[in-house]
Chain A
Amino acid sequence: MLRPRIIPSLLLHDKGLVKTVNFKSPKYVGDPINAVRIFNEKKVDELAFFDIDATALNKEPDYTLIEKLANQSRMPLCYGGGVKTIEQAQKIFGLGIEKIALSSAVIQNPKLVTQIADRVGSQSVIVVLDIKKKLLGGYEIYTHNGKKSTGINPVKFAKELEALGAGEIIINSIDQDGVMKGYDLNLIDKIAETISIPLTVLGGAGSMSDIEKVIEKHGVIGVAAGSLFVFKGPYKAVLINYPTQIEKNKIFKINKSGNTE
Chain B
Amino acid sequence: MITLIDYGVGNIFAFQNVYKRLDIPTKIAKTYEDLSDAKKLILPGVGSFDYAIEQLNASGMREKLDELVLEQKVPVIGICVGMQMMGNRSDEGKLEGLKWIDSEILKFDESIIKQRTKLPHMGWNDVSPVKNHPLFIGLEKEAIFYFLHSYYFKCNNPTESIAVSDYGISFTSAVNRDNVFGIQFHPEKSHQYGEKLLHNFAML
Contact partner of B117 among A119, A197, A256, CB < 8 A?
A197
Q: How far is the CB of B25 from the nearest CB of chain A, in Å?
A: 17
B144 contacts A76, C-beta separation under 8 Å: no
**B119: contacting residue among A4, A119, A197, CB under 8 A:** A197
Task: Count A-B contacts at CB 8 Å.
Answer: 130
Contact A76 B189 (CB under 8 A): yes
Interchain CA distance A3-B11 in the complex, whole Å: 24
Q: Which A residues touch B188, using CB under 8 A?
A: 74
Instruction: Collect the chain B residues with CB atoms within 8 Å of residue A74's CB.
Output: 17-18, 188-189, 191, 194-195
* Complex CA–CA separation, A95 to B119 (angstroms): 25
In the assembled complex, the Cα of A199 lies from the Cα of B146 at a distance in Å of 17
B125 at the A interface (CB under 8 A): yes
A71's partner among B17, B118, B143, B193 (CB-CB below 8 A) is B17
How many A residues, CB 8 Å from partner?
A: 48
* Contact status of A199 and B124, CB under 8 A, knowing A76-B146, A96-B11, A121-B48: no
Shortest distance between the CB of B147 and any CB in chain A (Å): 8
Chain A proximity of B58: nearest CB distance (Å): 14
B171-204 to A contact mask, C-beta < 8 Å, 1/0: 0000000000000001011011111000000000
B142 near A256 with CB under 8 A, answer yes
A43-B192, A123-B148, A123-B150 given; A96·B13 CB < 8 A: yes
What does the 1/0 interface line of A49-78 toward B look like (CB < 8 Å)?
A: 000000000000000000100111111110
In the complex, the answer to whether B17 meets A123 with C-beta atoms within 8 Å is no
Asked if B150 contacts A122 (CB within 8 A), the reply is yes
A220 touches B13 (CB 8 A): no
Interface residues of B (CB under 8 A from A): 8, 11-14, 17-18, 46-48, 51, 81, 92, 110, 115-126, 142-144, 146-150, 166-167, 186, 188-189, 191-195
> A98: CB under 8 A from chain B?
yes
Question: Is A197 in contact with B120, judged by CB distance below 8 angstroms?
Answer: yes
On whether the beta carbons of A168 and B122 are closer than 8 Å, the reply is yes
Residues of chain B within 8 A (CB-CB) of A220 are: 115-117, 123
Judged by a CB distance under 8 angstroms, whether A192 is at the interface is yes
Write out the residue numbers on chain B whose beta carbons fall within 8 Å of the beta carbon of A139. Answer: none
Additional 5 contacts, C-beta under 8 A, given A123-B119, A197-B117, A261-B192: A1-B166, A40-B191, A73-B189, A74-B191, A74-B194
CB-CB < 8 A to B18: which residues of A? 74
Nearest-CB residue, chain A, relative to B51: A119
Of A70, A75, A99, A218, the contact of B13 (CB 8 Å cutoff): A70
Residue from the list B8, B118, B148 in contact with A76, Cβ < 8 A: B148
Cα of A98 to Cα of B186 in the assembled complex, Å: 10
Q: Which residues of chain A are within 8 angstroms of B116 by Cβ–Cβ distance?
A: 192, 196, 218-220
In this assembly, does A5 line the interface, its C-beta being within 8 Å of a C-beta of chain B?
Answer: yes
Is A259 in contact with chain B by the CB < 8 A criterion? yes
